[in-house]
Structure 1
Amino acid sequence: YCRCAGGRDRTLSLSHREADFDDAISRAELAVDDRVGLVEQVGEQASFPLPYYLASIAGTEGFSDAGAAPFAAGAAADWNEAYMKALGEGLERYAAGVYRTAEFRHAPGTALEDAVRSTRFVTSDGYDPDPDAERPWTPGLDLVDESGVWLPAEVVQYPPPERRIKPPITTGLGLGSSTIEATISGLSEVIERDAAMLAWYSDYEPLGLAVDDERFRELEKRARAEGLTASATLLTQDVDVPVVAATVHRDGEWPRFAAGSGAALDPVDAATGALAEALQNWIELRDMGPEQASEEGGAIGEYADFPDRAQELTHPETTVPADSVADEAAEFSGEAALDALVDLVDDAGLTPYAARTTTRDVAALGFEGVRVVIPEAQPLFTGEPFFGDRLERVAASMGYEARPERAYHPFP
C-alpha cells in the first residue's frame, strides 16, 4: 500500500509514544489561528456545571472535495482538559474531512483481492452496498493480523465522498499523539456504540455501578450544583470491554435528563468519560431549549423531559462496585491496551479494521488521525432505526430477548 496523490501517506503503521498532557496541548494550540489555522478559534461556551468549549474548524472546501464538520466540542471538570477535548475533536474532524476523491482507488470491490466488502456493513433501507459497483477505496489495516486491506472510502472519511453503503456518522474517528493512541480511541467508541444499542434494544437489565474515584466524584459534585443526580450503569455485551452509560437527572426545571456513554478497559475510566459526556449533553440541551431540542436527530429532546422509560438507566435494580467488573487489563496502556481490545473484539467473532486519516498539517503538529470500523457492529443511529444480525444473535447468546420495536434510544 503506497503513498497517495498529493504526498499524503495513507499507510497505517501501529506505533506508540508517550506524550504528557502539557506537551499535547502545547502542540494542539499551534493549530489555532483565525486566519490560517486548522481550527479558527476555541471559545468558552459555558462554565457551569462544567467548563465547555466549542472549536470552530477551518473551512476545507478550497483544498478538499468535502467540507469538514464545522464545530467540535469538549467538556470536563478541568478547564485545560475541556479545552483540549474540543481542540482534539476539532483536529480529528478536520483530518477526516480533508481529501481529494482522485487520491482513492476506484474499482468494484469484487476486483480487489483484499477488499472489505461493502455488503458486510450494517445498513438501513435506501442504501445499496452493491459489491459489484465501482466505488472509491482507501488502504486500511486488519487489526487482528495487521494485514493490509482496502476499505470503502465512504466508511473512513467524514463527510464521506458518497453515500451508498450506510448512513454517515463519526463513530470510530480517533485522534492521538500516536497511531496506537488514536486507534484505541476509535475502537473504544465503536465498541461503546455497539453495546449501547444492543443493550437498549433488548430486555437486558443494566447493572448499576458505584464508582469510588475522585474524578467521578468531582463530576457528581458539579452535577449536584445544578440539582442533578448522577448514575452509572454497565451495558457490556458479548465484547467483554466495560461499556458504561451515565445519566444526570432531576425533577423540576428542564432539561431533566441527559445521557452519555463510554468504553474503556478500566470501568472507572469508562464511567468517568460517560458522566462527562452526559453533563456535556445536558449543557447542550440547556442551551438549545425545548423547541430546538425537539428538532434535533434522535430523541434527545423527548428524553430531556425524563420519561419513565429512562429510569432503567437512573434507577437500576442492582448496583455493584465498579472495580468489581475490572480485570488486569484495566492497568494496560499503549500497545498492550490495543492488543487487549483487539483480542476481546476477535473473541466475539468480529474483525476490527483501521485506516489512517492523518493529513500532513495534522502530522506536523505531532498528531495522528484514524478511523476504526467493525463492519458487523451495530451502529448508533439518529434517524430511522436499523439493525444488523447481531441484535438477535447476541441477545439470544446472553439469554436476553431482542426488542427492535422498543422506544427510541436516549443516546445523542
Structure 2
Amino acid sequence: MPGMLTIKGPQTNQDMGHHPHRNAVSRLSTAASGELRMQLHHHLASPIEDTLRKALRLVDDETGVIKILHEAPCAPDSPRIFGCGALSSDYSRFGFPSESPISGSTSLVRDQALVGAIGEAVERYSAAYVPYDEVIYRPISAVSATAVSPWSLSLYDEVQLARAGFGYCALRPDDTIGWVMGFSLTRKQPILVPAFAVYQPYISRAGEMPVVQQITTGLACGNTAEEAILSAICEVVERDAAMLMWLQSRRPPKTVIESRTPKVVRETLARFGPIEGHVTLLDVTTDLAIPAYIAVSDVPMAGKPGATFSSCANLVASRAAVGALTELAQCLLWVNSLVDKGTHLPNPSLEDIAQIEEHVLWPLLPENRQAFEFVLSSSCETEIPQDHDWPTDILDSITHCVERIARAGLEVVVVDVTSPDIRECGLHVFRAIIPGAQPLYFGSGLHRISVRATSAEYADRASKQINLHPHPFP
C-alpha cells in the first residue's frame, strides 16, 4: 500500500497473550487474512507549533505530567543557545515508579527547546507505564525463534556476573521472563522483545531478577509515530558511536569549520561566543554509515582545565553536528550548576564512579586529563559534508537508517510504549532497540562490551585494549 510500511505476521491470542496488540492500537491493525500490519506513513517534519500545542497540554502545576517549565538564563560567557528544564510531577503516587524528576533540552530555536524538555519528560513518564496485561511470560528457549535474544542486550561477562554483590543475574535458556510485542523494521515482521529492555523502570510481577542496568537509550517522544521512531533510532546509533570511540580508544578526526561548512553548523558554533575556540567537533561515524559527532569543550571551569563531552547522530551530517553542539551547551549549563553547588569532582583512579553526573564531572580534574587526551590527539581533519539529496520525508529517513544499519548486520526493532493519556494528547513514544549495538552504561565495573567493540577494527585506535576507564558521557 503506498505511503505505508506494512509489517506482517500471523498472530493468535494464544501465541501472544490476552491482548496481543492493544499497546500499539494507533499503529497496528489486523487484516482480513489475520496478519498484523504496522502502519507508518510518509510525511514531512511536523511544524513545531503543532507539537508545542499538544505538549503544553501536559504542563500544569497541580495536575500535569509536568509541573513547571523553566527557561535557563544565558550567562554572558555561556553559549547563546536556548535551554529549558522541566520538573515532572511525582507520578509514583498513582503507581508509576518515579525516577529523576528533572529533564531538559537545548536548541537554536526557543520553542524547540521547550518541546525537547517536555518530550524528554514525557518519554520517561510513558516508559514507566507497564501494561502488565500485555506482558506474556515464556521461557527464553520457547520463543527464541521469534524473539530478540536477551543476551544480545545484557552483555555482562562471566567475571562480572560472578562478582559478589554485582546486582545483576545471568540468564539461562530455561528462565521465564516477560515479553512484549515489538516490530522488526528490518525484517518487516512482529518480534517479541524482553520487557526489561523496553519499560523503565521495569518491575516484574513474575519474580524476575534484575539482569541489566536500565537507562533511557532509544526512548523518544514525537508529534508522530514516525518522528518518535526516527529520533529513537538515531539515539541508539549516537550512543553506539560514542561508546565505540571510548572503548576502542579511537582518535577521531577533527572537523574543519570553514566557509564551505554548512551554514547552520558555523552559526551554531558562533553562538558559543568567547569559548568558541575551546570547542572541538569530532567525527565518530561508524560502519553504520549514519553521521555521528562528539563535541568537546575544554574551557576551564572554576579555574581548572577540564573537558565536557556530548554526542549526536543523524542521517543528515549537519543536523548531527548541530545536535552535538547544542547538547554540549546543555551539558555546560549542567556542569556549571554542579560546580557552583560544590559537587565533588571524582577521581576514577581512586574511587568508584556510580552516578551519571560523576561520569560528566571526572574530566574536570587536571590529574584525570591523561585518561581522555587520546580523544583530542588526532592530527587528521575532515569536513562536514553539504546536505544534498537527503530525504525530507520522515518515513524515507527511517528506511534509509534501517537499510544502512542492516548492511552492518544489525536489526532495528521498535516498540510503541505510548501510555493511554499521552496517546490521547496526540503524542507518541517509542523505544528503539538494535540488538548487538554497543550500549551506554553508567558505573565502575558495570561495563557492557558488545561484539562490535571487540571485533570492529578502526585504523585510528590508540590502543588495541578495551578501554574500561569510566567514560565521560551523560
Q: Would you call these one fold, judging by a TM-score over 0.5?
A: yes
SS at match of 1:30: helix
**Equivalent AA in structure 1 for residue 69 of structure 2:** V
State yes or no: 1:15 paired with 2:49: no
User: Shift of the alpha carbon at 1:68?
Assistant: 5.2
Counterpart Cα distance in 1 of 2:271 and 2:378: 22
Counterpart Cα distance in 2 of 1:63 and 1:233: 44
- Contact preservation (8 Å) 1:108, 1:132: yes
Matches within 5 A, 1:274-293: 274-289=324-339, 291-293=343-345
Counterpart Cα distance in 2 of 1:6 and 1:361: 17
State yes or no: 1:169 paired with 2:219: no
Q: Quote the residue 1:209 is aligned against.
A: 255
Residues 279-309 of structure 1 show CA distances to partners (whole Å, capped at 9, x for unaligned) of 2111111101153453733532121236245
Q: Quote the residue 1:119 is aligned against.
A: 151
Matches within 5 A, 1:24-35: 24-35=51-62
Residue 133 of structure 1 is aligned with which of 172, 175, 178? 175
SS at match of 1:83: helix
Tell me: CA distance 1:71–1:228, structure 2 relative to 1, closer, same or farther (3 Å): farther
Tell me: CA distance 1:141–1:365, structure 2 relative to 1, closer, same or farther (3 Å): same
**Equivalent AA in structure 2 for residue 43 of structure 1:** H
Q: Quote the residue 1:192 is aligned against.
A: 238
Tell me: CA distance 1:40–1:7, structure 2 relative to 1, closer, same or farther (3 Å): farther
Which structure has the larger Rg? 2
Matches within 5 A, 1:50-89: 50-67=81-98, 69-89=100-120
- Contact preservation (8 Å) 2:251, 2:377: no
Tell me: CA distance 1:82–1:131, structure 2 relative to 1, closer, same or farther (3 Å): same
- Contact preservation (8 Å) 1:46, 1:53: no
SS at match of 1:291: coil
| Superposition TM-score, scaled by structure 1 size | 0.90
Root-mean-square deviation (Å): 2.7
Counterpart Cα distance in 2 of 1:260 and 1:342: 24
- Contact preservation (8 Å) 2:254, 2:281: yes
State yes or no: 1:299 paired with 2:359: yes
Q: Name whichever of 88-97 and 295-304 sits farther off.
A: 295-304
Tell me: CA distance 1:237–1:6, structure 2 relative to 1, closer, same or farther (3 Å): closer
Residues 39-90 of structure 1 show CA distances to partners (whole Å, capped at 9, x for unaligned) of 1221124324233222122333344453354221112233222211101111
User: Shift of the alpha carbon at 1:411?
Assistant: 1.4
Counterpart Cα distance in 2 of 1:65 and 1:269: 34
State yes or no: 1:381 paired with 2:441: yes
**Equivalent AA in structure 2 for residue 167 of structure 1:** Q
Residues 178-226 of structure 1 show CA distances to partners (whole Å, capped at 9, x for unaligned) of 2221111111111111111112222432011134244333432332345
User: Shift of the alpha carbon at 1:5?
Assistant: 9.4
- Contact preservation (8 Å) 2:249, 2:375: no
Residue 297 of structure 2 is aligned with which of 248, 251, 260? 248
- Contact preservation (8 Å) 2:105, 2:114: yes
SS at match of 2:87: strand
| Count of aligned positions | 409
- Contact preservation (8 Å) 2:20, 2:181: no
User: Shift of the alpha carbon at 1:109?
Assistant: 2.4
User: Shift of the alpha carbon at 1:235?
Assistant: 0.6
Unaligned runs of 5+ in 1: none
Q: Quote the residue 2:198 is aligned against.
A: 156
SS at match of 1:175: strand
